Structure 1
Amino acid sequence: MILIDNTCISDDIEDQFFVCDLDKCKGACCVEGDSGAPLEEDELAILDEIYPAVEPYLTQAGKDIIAKEGTYTKDWDGDYVTPVINGRECAYAIYDQKGILKCGIEAAFLDGKIGYKKPISCHLYPIRVTKYEQYHALNYDRWEICNPACSLGAALGVPVYKFLKEPLIRAYGTNWYDQLTQEIDERQESRLREK
C-alpha cells in the first residue's frame, strides 16, 4: 500500500490496468448494482442547483423518478445516492445512438451548460473510496462487467492511477497526485534494481 497524507492507496491502483471500453460494456456501471451512485454530502446542493440545466438531457423515466424522489435519495444503509429507475439504471443515465449508457450530467457539462462533471464516485470508478475518521482508503473495485476495461487497459499498458489522473486530481489535488506518481516511480525503480 501507499500512504500519502490522510490517504491509504491499495497496490492494485498501481498494478492493475484499466481503460473503459464502452463499445463492449455499453455503460453497464450506470445500470448494474444495488443502488444509485454514491454521493458526497457537498454534492447534494450541487445536484439541486444544476438540475434545471441537466433535466433536458434526461429520459422521461429519469425525469419522472427525480420528480418523485428528488435529485438524490438515501439507500437502505442511509447513504446518499442518485435515484434509480425501477431498481435499475441511474435516473441521470441516457442512451447514445449506439445504445451505450452515458451520464446526462456529463452531457450537460460537455455542452458547457454546467461546471460540474458528474458525481466524484462515478468519475473515480473503478476506485472506491472508504472514508474513515483518520484517513481515506482508496481501493480498486473488481467487477465482472469491467473485464473489457481491464483487457483494454492491459493491451494499452495504462494502469488505473494513470487512467484516473483527472478524477484523482479533482478529489485530492495536483500535489497529491504528483506524490503518488513519484512514489510509484520510486517503487518500480527499486523493483528493477532488485532483479
Structure 2
Amino acid sequence: MIAIDNVLISDEVVEEQFVCDLTRCKGGCCEDGDAGAPLLQSELDYLKDYYDVVLPYMTPEGISENEKQGKFIYDKHFGWVTPTIKGEMCTYAFRDTEGVIKCGIEQAYLDGKIPWKKPISCHLFPIKISHSEVDPSMEYMNYEPREDLCKAACKLGKKLKVPAYVFLKEAITRHYGEEFYQTLDQTAQYMKEQKA
C-alpha cells in the first residue's frame, strides 16, 4: 500500500500493466456494469451546463432515456451516476462505424466544444476511487479491471510493459495534480528498484 496525502494506493496500481485495447473490447466498459458512470458532485453541474452541447453527439435512445430519467440519477450503491439505456449502455455514449462505443461528452471535448473531458470515474478506469466510511477525507485508489472485458488490455499492457498508473497518467494528474503523480511515479520507481 502506498500513501500519498490522504490517498491510500493499492500496490497493483503501480505493479500491474494495462493499456486499453479498444479494437478488442469495443469500449465495453461503457455498457457493462451495475450502473452508469459514477459522478462527482461537481460533475452534476457540468452535465447541466454542457448538456445542450453534448446532445448532438448522443443517440436518439440516449436522449429519450435522459428525458425519462434525467441527466443523472441517484443509485443507492454508487451515488450519482449517468443513466443507462435498458440497464446497459451509458446514455451519453454512441457506437462509431467500427462498432466501438465512444463517449459523447469526450467527443464534444475533443472537438473543442466543452472544457470537460468526461466523468473522472471513466477517465481513471480501471482504477476505482472509494472513500473511507470512518474518515470521508480518506480515499482508496484500487486497480479493478473487469476479468473478461479487460483481458485484452492486460495482455497489451504486459506486451508493451506499461504500468497501469503510467497508462492513466493524464487521468491521475487531472484528478490529483502533477505533484501527486510525480510522487506516485517516484514511489513506483523506488519499489521497482527494491525488487530488482
Instruction: State the 1:78 CA deviation.
Output: 6.3
Aligned to 1:40: 40
Question: Percent of aligned positions with the same letter in both sequences?
Answer: 46
Contact 2:12–2:142 at 8 Å: present in 1 too?
yes
Which residue among 126, 135, 139 is the counterpart of 2:138?
135
TM-score calculated relative to the size of structure 2: 0.95
Say which of 144, 164, 171 aligns to 1:167. 171
- Which amino acid in 1 is paired with 2:144? D
Q: Give the whole-Å Cα distance in 2 for the aligned partners of 1:182 and 1:119.
A: 27
CA contact (8 A) 2:15 2:163 kept: yes
- 1:9-47: CA deviation from partner (whole Å, max 9, x where unpaired): 000011111111011011110111111000011100111
Q: Please name the residue that 1:86 is paired with.
A: 86
1:124-146 CA distances to partner (integer Å, 9 max, x unpaired)?
A: 00000001224110000031201
Paired with 2:68 and 2:61, the residues of 1 have a C-alpha distance of 11
Letter in 2 for 1:28: G
1:77 alignment partner in structure 2: 77
2:3 maps to 1:3: yes
In 1, distance between residues paired with 2:103 and 2:85?
14
The answer to whether the Cα contact below 8 Å between 2:125 and 2:145 also exists between their aligned partners in 1 is no
Q: CA deviation at 1:70?
A: 1.4
Determine the structure 1 residue equivalent to 2:17: 17
- The residue that corresponds to 2:29 in the other structure is 29
* Residue identity matched to 2:188: I
Partner of 1:181: 185
The two structures have a TM-score, normalised by structure 1, of: 0.96
Root mean square deviation of aligned Cα: 1.0
Q: Aligned to 2:102, what secondary structure does the other structure show?
A: strand
Q: Give the whole-Å Cα distance in 2 for the aligned partners of 1:165 and 1:55.
A: 29
State the SS of the aligned residue for 2:142. strand
The gaps in structure 2 that reach 5 residues or longer are none
Equivalent position amino acid for 1:183 in 2 = T
User: How far apart are the structure 2 equivalents of 1:78 and 1:123?
Assistant: 17
Q: Runs of 4 or more off by more than 3 Å in structure 1?
A: none
- Amino acid across the alignment from 2:60: Q
Q: Does 1:105 align with 2:105?
A: yes
How far apart are residue 86 of structure 1 and its match? Answer: 0.8
SS at match of 1:145: coil
Cα deviation for residue 76 of structure 1 reads 3.4
Does the aligned pair in 1 maintain the 2:157–2:163 contact within 8 Å? yes
- The answer as to whether partners of 2:38 and 2:78 remain within 8 angstroms in 1 is no
Residue pair 2:127, 2:145 contacting (<8 A) in 1 also: no
2:62 matches 1:62:
yes
Deviation at 1:188, TM superposition (A): 1.4
Aligned to 2:195: 191
What is the deviation of 1:190? 2.1
The gaps in structure 1 that reach 5 residues or longer are none
Give the number of equivalent residue pairs: 192
